[in-house]
């Protein structure tokens, strides 16, 4: 489990096959390596990877075929030059972002980035093609004022269309400078993880529960009756 608050930037190099070497930038090396142990989880651009070997500058991890197919780890050509790094959340630690699992839903891309007086307004597209069946469902979880992790960065959706085919986030200068969002170019690919709470709600509402015979006709009265309002 992660929070979406990035601790450091690093680089990633393939070692052949499904193995990768992740190196921290010199100034941030100890932030990540200070208590790193074999078997620990680290989010690399939002992707949860397991530490298999600890190196002086970072660590080595293996990505499954599913991970390679569903994330930018499988094709770095269109991704940012640096990767965002975050170690796993410890019990009792502050939760400043939102619950991020490190299980990526799919790949989106940067469409526009505009600097304003106090933020960067960034527009991302989400896959909606019928051929991308394993990514198409992302759009259903894009909701205004909801949470989403973009390359592992916890951000709030400021605006989106009804279909969820695009969304806008406002990134404060600190987050922009400390993450690889500042290295993205128009068209750059990003890993997207939507809020896990929405997925559980969808699954629950998709099952027939005898005590909820009005499930398919949800109204404000129904929600109030069951403690949601």
Q: What is the pLDDT of residues 170-210, one digit of tens each?
A: 999 999 999 999 999 999 999 999 988 888 887 888 754 44
- The pLDDT value recorded for residue 209 is 46
Domain final residue, candidates 59, 87, 115: 87
113-136: burial string, b at 16+ Cβ within 10 Å, e else: beeeeebbebbbbbbeeeeeeebe
CATH number at residue 13: 2.40.30.20
Count of domains forming the chain: 2
pTM for the model stands at 0.84
- The pLDDT value recorded for residue 128 is 52
Domain final residue, candidates 54, 87, 120: 87
Using one digit for the tens of pLDDT, what is the confidence trace for 88-119?
Answer: 987 777 777 788 999 999 999 999 999 999 99
Residues composing the chain: 229
For the chain, state the CA radius of gyration.
19
Mean pLDDT over each residue of the chain, to the nearest integer: 87
- Name the residue range of residue 30's domain: 8-87
Q: Is 168 within the bounds of a domain?
A: yes
Are residue 79 and residue 113 in the same domain, yes or no?
A: no
Confidence of residue 25 (pLDDT cuts 50, 70, 90): confident
C-alpha of 136 from chain center: 16
Are residue 75 and residue 158 in the same domain, yes or no?
A: no
Collapsed DSSP state (helix, strand, coil) of residue 223:
helix
Q: Is 45 within the bounds of a domain?
A: yes
């Amino acid at each position: 489990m992660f929070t979406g608050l990035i601790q450091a930037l690093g680089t990633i190099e393939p070692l052949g096959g499904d193995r990768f070497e992740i190196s921290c930038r010199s100034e941030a090396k100890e932030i990540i390596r200070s208590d790193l142990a074999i078997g620990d989880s680290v989010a690399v651009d939002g992707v949860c990877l397991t530490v298999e070997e600890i190196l002086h500058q970072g660590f080595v991890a293996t990505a499954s075929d599913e991970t390679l197919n569903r994330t930018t780890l499988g094709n770095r050509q269109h991704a940012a030059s640096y990767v965002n790094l975050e170690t796993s959340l410890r019990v009792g630690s502050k939760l400043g972002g939102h619950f991020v699992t490190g299980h990526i839903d799919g790949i989106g891309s940067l469409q526009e980035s505009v600097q304003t007086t106090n933020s960067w307004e960034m527009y991302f597209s989400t896959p909606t093609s019928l051929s991308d069946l394993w990514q198409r469902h992302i759009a259903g979880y894009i909701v205004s004022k909801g949470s989403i992790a973009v390359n592992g960065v916890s951000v709030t959706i400021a605006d989106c269309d009804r279909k969820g085919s695009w969304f806008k986030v406002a990134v404060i200068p600190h987050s922009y400078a400390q993450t690889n969002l500042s290295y993205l170019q128009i068209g750059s690919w990003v890993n997207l993880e939507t809020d896990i709470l929405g997925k559980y709600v969808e699954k629950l509402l998709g099952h027939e529960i005898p005590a909820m015979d009005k499930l398919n006709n949800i109204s404000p009265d129904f929600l109030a009756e069951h403690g949601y309002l």
